[in-house]
Amino acid sequence: MSSNPQDAVSDASSNFTITPTDNQAGILLDQKVQIKFVEPVDPELVENNFHLISEFEFTDSNCRFESRMDHSNMGMTMKDTLKMHHMDKYHATGGRFVWSDGNKLCTFTPIHY
């Protein structure tokens, strides 16, 4: 196996599909997200590692929760554990997970306040 992190993402992505697709335009804030896995998965593992954060929240350098937390560069923020913890705590969209098809289909319904 390659030590390149990008290769790991490429290999893993062949084991599941996500809708709506990456970079799809016109997505409503309350649109459901579906993850279809090739094999059954542990729901707890997926739910604990699923983070839905809008591109706007990543690119807004004026964080309304922490003035010292600049997260205007998505690529750099995703590499920084402290910033990702901040993004998940303050900017991630909450929601509800529903599992079906023997734990091969996860539907996440965002909850917006």
Number of H-type helices and E-type strands within the chain: 5, 4
For the segment 36-84, what is each residue's pLDDT rounded down to a tens digit? 999 999 999 999 888 888 777 777 777 777 776 777 777 777 787 888 8
Which parts of the chain fold into alpha helices (H)?
5-13, 43-49, 55-59, 74-79, 81-90
Q: State the chain's mean pLDDT as an integer.
A: 80
Give the residue extent of every domain in the chain.
5-110
pLDDT of 1 higher than 50: no
pLDDT computed for residue 2 by the predictor = 41
Q: How far is residue 64's CA from residue 91's CA, in Å, rounded to a whole number?
A: 10
Q: Which two tokens stand for residue 88?
A: 């998940």
Q: Is the distance from CB of 110 to CB of 94 less than 8 angstroms?
A: yes
Q: Which pTM value belongs to this model?
A: 0.71
Of 1 and 16, more confident? 16
